[in-house]
Amino acid sequence: MSVGADERIQPALHALLSDDVDGLRAALGADPEVVNLKVGDNTLLELTTQPDVGHSSSEIIDVLISAGAALDRALNLAGCWNLPDLCAQLLAAGADPAARADAGITPLESAAMHSSAEAADVLVKHGLHRQTLWLAAASGLLRWVQGWVAVDGTLRADPGPYRPDWAAVGRAAGARPRDDPTEVVGEAFVFAALNNRHAVVDYLLGAGVDVDARPYRNTTALHFAIQFRRSDMVRRLLDSGASVIIEDGTYRSNAAGWAQACDDGSREATTIRWLVRAAHR
């Protein structure tokens, strides 16, 4: 970003960070092009999605939208960071739920890959767009999953045109996805678990999926449920016999290691550490 652009954006940026609605409106009125200038990688609207900025009021968002802010990448980021109210506001303003405005994935796909279930619940009302088994499972669409996976675990239909690419959201690249039905169904199971979709998990377990399925870098559903602090899902997986000794292929760490690394001091994290310790005995 040029020095000139940096200087121009400062009044609007200060107003945004101060939640000064009138100040932001005045700054954008004085220099309308500022609304889509970037602070680092993000426009002002996109910046409101970032955790280190904190909550921006709906009134601030309205000012940015009215000033002509680009919406699509902001919607993708709102999905990523699990901001359901912002997702709803942006969709109402005309953001495209099918746009691949960040990392080559849709907002719903981004939400699914970050365990942003509440945002996904808003986004999925506008469709899957790339209709795929893993995304239906991640979104908790049990009837869709049942349409793809029979009660005996076999695939009824093509699982869809797009398989998840973890490297797109900053993780280490995995092996190229295979068309093997066992891997495809296991992938759907992992995504259902990491998004806390109990009904889908129960159905797939009943259909015979391996509770330790690990299509991405030897990372199980239990690993992911631990990372995203889904304590009820951790309990469900352990009750179904999930292994606590399998080490993932990135960090070479088992369930206890993940529980320790992902402990943020929350009640959920504490519960998970207790559950994992109990399973080791």
- Statement to judge: residues 141 and 265 lie in one domain: yes
- Statement to judge: residues 5 and 119 lie in one domain: no
54: confidence class by pLDDT, cuts 50, 70, 90: confident
Query: Of 129, 146, 168, which one is at a domain's C-terminal end?
Result: 129
User: What's the domain range around 96?
Assistant: 71-129
Q: What percent of the chain has a predicted confidence (pLDDT) above 90?
A: 96
CA–CA dist 166, 274 (Å, integer): 29
281: confidence class by pLDDT, cuts 50, 70, 90: confident
Number of C-alpha atoms within 13 angstroms, CB side, residue 53?
A: 21
- Statement to judge: residues 156 and 247 lie in one domain: yes
CA–CA dist 113, 91 (Å, integer): 20
219-233 pLDDT, tens digit each: 999 999 999 999 999
- Statement to judge: residues 204 and 272 lie in one domain: yes
Nearest alpha carbon to residue 75 among 52, 58, 100: 100
Single-letter amino acid code for the residue at 140: G
pLDDT on residue 1: 37
Strand locations in the chain (E): 38-39, 42-43
Query: Of 13, 46, 64, which one is at a domain's C-terminal end?
Result: 64
Does 4 have pLDDT greater than 80? no
Beta-bridge partner residues of 39: 42
CATH of the domain at 110: 1.25.40.20
Which long-range contacts does 12-21 make (Cβ < 8 Å, 24+ apart)?
Answer: 12/44, 13/39, 13/44, 13/47, 16/44, 16/47, 16/48, 16/56, 16/60, 16/64, 17/53, 19/56, 19/57, 19/60, 21/57, 21/59, 21/60, 21/63
- What's the whole-number average pLDDT of the chain? 96
- Statement to judge: residues 135 and 109 lie in one domain: no
- Statement to judge: residues 17 and 156 lie in one domain: no
Number of domains in the chain: 3
- Statement to judge: residues 125 and 59 lie in one domain: no
